[in-house]
Chain A
């Protein structure tokens, strides 16, 4: 099992969600996030005073997938989230030791 984490532009969430559903991923966690990468921040001006806002709003999408599905899920996210402009985000994959479904107590791949 793997945990796929994707940081994407907020307006791309619906596209990524649809792409994951098309790949049979039937559960995910979405949260608002803020951060910066190569895109850097942006400048806001209040009564002439300039503020550099370093942390840009992003959305973090997390999904647990079985090993065999990882490659196509990652590809689907990248395809859906891409605009080609700076700030499109990142996707990474980390191994997961165990997963438990709270309602049934199932472990491992059964619980994904």
Chain B
């Protein structure tokens, strides 16, 4: 067993905190500013809600199901009792294990992966803005992370025990490349978002009324903070302070710059203006697309993936109007489409020149074999997530109810569900105290 490395441990712990920032507050701000003023707080609370619910599940049995020893041979999930309550991991000598020992504490790996589970669930909330019941959302978060995220994360992220036995089937059998979660996080969340948008139905006024963002400065702050946190997400996935982290870091930067250029170019040509929402969206699209590829491509690959993702997602966000599904904040257009673009393009741009664990893609003399694996992995996660989420959403909808009443939706979910208002801009709306205090 290796000795614990101070540098690696420090980097993984810092990365963990960076990935937390992606959910709270970055995604909450990004989504919260994009909805109407009457839904801002509820939108932000959906991110914060996913955070605390998934966090509790993760430390009790989530980590064990995703990264513990298999329940039985051939099982798609880990034994929830193996690390129940992080049993055996909270001692100072336990090392992280994922196909081999890593010179970082097991607890650092547990915490790092917790943040991935959290943001994957939080991402879904953008598809059902303005109309979901908060309690049902929390229950959905708990069940979805258990039956969808944990098995998918195991399939994609788990490389087996210290002797590399029993790893997830996408990682070790199909051998698809997904460095930080193009499939497990983005395709997974995007497909789930599409399913929930279909289950809950359109918002009142979708496609007819003015449903424009209420606070684009919040969206810009959120996008910038997402980029900041994403360095932890991608470069932190090297699980060490090393050359691989550096490759992932700079590619995360280059691809995202190219994606902003791609998105704004499409906007300028199509709509005549380069918008701030377009720049913010381009940032996220680029980050999503480079996530699976960041440690496997060179600069030209990163710039190409970013530019292609920026342009394609800028076009993809219009699909919901054509097909009539109200994916309110474009979880499908940005995360599902961006995730597919990044995952599949590894099959074109992958190169072993940056990382011996990469594979040469179609454009780097490696033929189509990696491309086929990438498409296979993307398709499996997409179909599994969509089908299971659709069934889960329908059950919750038919039993405890997933959507607020028409009156609550019109009044706004902030007042209806949280009993708060995001903005107090009108003096005459100031009420008097009812003399009740906590």
Answer whether residue B317 sits at the interface, using C-beta atoms and an 8 A cutoff: yes
Contact of B321 among A45, A49, A51, A53 (CB under 8 A): A49
Number of residues on chain A facing chain B (CB within 8 A)? 9
Q: Which residues from chain A contact B72 at a C-beta distance below 8 Å?
A: none
Answer whether residue B365 sits at the interface, using C-beta atoms and an 8 A cutoff: no
Chain B residue at smallest Cβ distance from A48: B318
| A51–B212 CB distance below 8 A | yes
Q: Which residues from chain B contact A44 at a C-beta distance below 8 Å?
A: 212
As a 0/1 sequence over residues 191 to 226 of chain B, the CB contacts with chain A under 8 angstroms (1 = contact) are: 000000000000000000011110000000000000
Q: Which residues from chain A contact B210 at a C-beta distance below 8 Å?
A: 51, 53
Q: Please report which residues of chain A, range 26-64, place their CB below 8 angstroms from some CB of chain B when the two chains form the complex.
A: 44-51, 53
Q: Is the interface of A mostly helix, strand, loop or mixed?
A: strand
Answer whether residue B275 sits at the interface, using C-beta atoms and an 8 A cutoff: yes
Q: Which residues from chain B contact A48 at a C-beta distance below 8 Å?
A: 267, 270-271, 314-315, 317-318
Closest Cβ–Cβ distance, residue B281 to chain A (whole Å):
6
Chain A residue at smallest Cβ distance from B334: A47
Q: Which residues from chain B contact A51 at a C-beta distance below 8 Å?
A: 210-212
Q: Which residues from chain A contact B315 at a C-beta distance below 8 Å?
A: 48
Answer whether residue B87 sits at the interface, using C-beta atoms and an 8 A cutoff: no
| B314–A45 CB distance below 8 A | no
Q: Which residues from chain A contact B278 at a C-beta distance below 8 Å?
A: 47
Answer whether residue B8 sits at the interface, using C-beta atoms and an 8 A cutoff: no
Closest Cβ–Cβ distance, residue B30 to chain A (whole Å):
13
Closest Cβ–Cβ distance, residue B39 to chain A (whole Å):
15
**Cα distance, A83 to B270, chains bound together (Å):** 32
Answer whether residue B362 sits at the interface, using C-beta atoms and an 8 A cutoff: no
Q: Please report which residues of chain B, range 316-333, place their CB below 8 angstroms from some CB of chain A when the two chains form the complex.
A: 317-318, 321, 330, 333
Q: Please report which residues of chain B, range 298-323, place their CB below 8 angstroms from some CB of chain A when the two chains form the complex.
A: 314-315, 317-318, 321
Closest Cβ–Cβ distance, residue A54 to chain B (whole Å):
9
Contact of A46 among B270, B272, B275 (CB under 8 A): B275
| B277–A47 CB distance below 8 A | yes
Answer whether residue B273 sits at the interface, using C-beta atoms and an 8 A cutoff: yes
Closest Cβ–Cβ distance, residue B129 to chain A (whole Å):
14
**Cα distance, A48 to B275, chains bound together (Å):** 10
| B212–A47 CB distance below 8 A | no
Q: Which residues from chain A contact B321 at a C-beta distance below 8 Å?
A: 49
**Cα distance, A73 to B405, chains bound together (Å):** 52
Closest Cβ–Cβ distance, residue A28 to chain B (whole Å):
19
Closest Cβ–Cβ distance, residue A47 to chain B (whole Å):
5
Closest Cβ–Cβ distance, residue A62 to chain B (whole Å):
17
Q: Which residues from chain A contact B213 at a C-beta distance below 8 Å?
A: 46
Q: Which residues from chain A contact B271 at a C-beta distance below 8 Å?
A: 45, 48, 50
Closest Cβ–Cβ distance, residue B32 to chain A (whole Å):
15
**Cα distance, A44 to B211, chains bound together (Å):** 11
Known: A51-B210, A51-B212, A53-B210. A45 touches B318 (CB 8 A): no
Closest Cβ–Cβ distance, residue A79 to chain B (whole Å):
33
**Cα distance, A46 to B330, chains bound together (Å):** 12
Q: Which residues from chain A contact B273 at a C-beta distance below 8 Å?
A: 45
As a 0/1 sequence over residues 257 to 285 of chain B, the CB contacts with chain A under 8 angstroms (1 = contact) are: 00000000001001111010110010000
**Cα distance, A45 to B273, chains bound together (Å):** 8
Q: Which residues from chain A contact B275 at a C-beta distance below 8 Å?
A: 45-46
Q: Which residues from chain A contact B281 at a C-beta distance below 8 Å?
A: 47
**Cα distance, A51 to B273, chains bound together (Å):** 14
Chain A residue at smallest Cβ distance from B317: A47
Q: Please report which residues of chain B, range 327-358, place their CB below 8 angstroms from some CB of chain A when the two chains form the complex.
A: 330, 333
| A49–B318 CB distance below 8 A | yes
Chain A residue at smallest Cβ distance from B271: A45
Known: A45-B273, A47-B318. 16 other contacts (CB 8 A): A44-B212, A45-B267, A45-B272, A45-B275, A46-B213, A47-B277, A47-B281, A47-B314, A47-B333, A48-B270, A48-B271, A48-B315, A49-B318, A50-B271, A51-B210, A53-B210
Would you mind naming 24 contact pairs between A and B with Cβ atoms under 8 Å apart? A45-B273, A46-B212, A46-B213, A46-B275, A46-B277, A47-B277, A47-B278, A47-B281, A47-B314, A47-B318, A47-B333, A48-B267, A48-B270, A48-B271, A48-B314, A48-B317, A48-B318, A49-B318, A49-B321, A50-B271, A51-B210, A51-B211, A51-B212, A53-B210
